[in-house]
Structure 1
Amino acid sequence: MEELQAKHRKEQRDLQARITQKKKNATKKTRKAVNDECDRLQQDLKAQQELEIAQLNGDAVATTTEDLDNLALGNDQEAAPANTVAKVVDVIAKPTPTPVPTQENNENTRSKKPNRQKARLARREAERAAQAEIAAEEAAKQTDHRGNEKETMEAAFKRLGLHEIEINPDGHCLYSAIACQLDSLGLGLRPDPARIVLQPSTLSRVDTVTSPKHDGYRAVRAVTADYITEHQDDFVPFMEDPVDEYVKKIRLTAEWGGQLELQAIARAYGVEINVLQGDGRVEKIEPGHTYGLGEHYNALAQNTVAA
């Protein structure tokens, strides 16, 4: 009996260590499941030890809770005498033999073990959800710069008597906005020959535009590229790429346009371009209006006055 009690104390210490580790690794989402599992493990060990004590006494009886408590975790004191360990609740004629483990029993036992992979996945999902919640809270606290900028722009439209013409944000927006306003002003997409001599390929692009609003950007891009090519000395100091590569991007890609391109367009077409900035300021590049919101350009037109 003394040897069995020592074995029981060791089993309880080992179980307590396992339970401590499980609860330490539990998350807020998995804590209830872990606690339930720990309770089950303690109950299983208690039942197993009661059975072993009863079998040792030869009567297959269960011990009372009071007697098992004498085997407190970590208690290495001398065990109580064998005849005080269990109180007989029921007696059978013969001792119950210890069942011989079988392959089926072993498989059932293994299947009852906690699924560590599922617990790990659940813990990761809980952490991901917590991080997403924190990110959402931080985003809600941030200033809506985009919304504030939009309000500023709308106030400027009202002050200047303008209305917005939406341009597709496809990388061609600057050139599309210019094409739209050149057409609305009746200037057309072909610049004055006295200002620039266009390449044959550029003339072909200008002549094959089906709608200034939808594909007019192709003509404006080509005119811009031709002007920069003819006046390289005015633009090269501000370029990071070789001029040939730079104008190729303007002519053949959806590369965004900026200050250099606006300057070339204003000179090629002989117009003054007013860019309404996100803070309400108007930047004059050298008549038509264009405005940029961040890196996107839309077109503006004067409001019509009812008769």
Structure 2
Amino acid sequence: MEEVETQEEVLVKQHRREKKDLQAKIQSMKNNVPKNDKKRRKQLTEDIAKLEADLNEKHQEELRELKSETDTKVQEVIHEVKSLKVEGEAVEEVEQPRVTKAQKRRDKKAAQEKERESRIAEAEVQNLQGLRHQESLQLAQKLAQQQLQIKEIPSDGHCMYRAIEDQLAKRAKPGLMMSMKELRSCTAEHMKNNTDDFLPFLTNPNTGDMYTTDEFEKYCSDVEHTAAWGGQLELRALTHVLRLPIEVIQADSPAIKIGEEYKDDPITLVYMRHAYGLGEHYNTVESLKDSANEES
């Protein structure tokens, strides 16, 4: 007997088709714009980002409506069952035919597949509504204006340093090829050698008092030898170590620029508040894939 698809399963499949159709449309749009037409390619990138955002918003609204309709129907069934119990209506127990082992296996497999599709639909709702998804969309649109996209960095406590390491590797300039460990070591050394520039901005989280000399020494040691997360103080130190400006792009506020006294092209990082369950995270950037094709 052919299984009847649920509304969730139908909607999830519809969304997959629409995403596939959009990708085909985007590819057609790219093919129609000459690769050497920089102005039209930039506008194309912005148009593509908007199309993707609009489709995601449409899917989000459709999934919300379906969830609302389903909840309403469930409440109606519950109400009807309660009414039958109150009225004391007797329900005849119908003897069920014996089910074969093969049929049980088929039924179990069908139930598991329906449950899987239901989880997919629920996950898509949560993903589309989630802060991480919304933040990623905002960042993608901002970066597209600069012909850039996010390049993921592992979330291991070293993300800021690894992102800068990636940016330096792309420059391939003598004296600027530094590993994550070297960046941490140089950051700690600069902070220790310029205590007055950093100590006043560090306070004990338990007492609110400014760090003592010993606490500051331990802080710098953690910067060098542990996976302590890096922030604006460390970025300030790194601008002086590298003699380069650093730009940090954020989703819902203007970019932060540090070390503007240095006039070289800035290192560009992406700061994400909602990337992981533990909180903040830094990623690096790379040229949009389409931009890379133009240069090749």
Which category describes the TM-score, using the shorter chain as reference length? 0.3 to 0.5
Structure exhibiting the larger radius of gyration computed from Cα positions: 1
Q: Which has more helix, going by share of residues?
A: 2
Give TM-score, length-normalised by structure 1.
Answer: 0.44
Give TM-score, length-normalised by structure 2.
Answer: 0.46
Higher RCO structure, 1 or 2 (CA under 8 Å, sep 6+)? 2
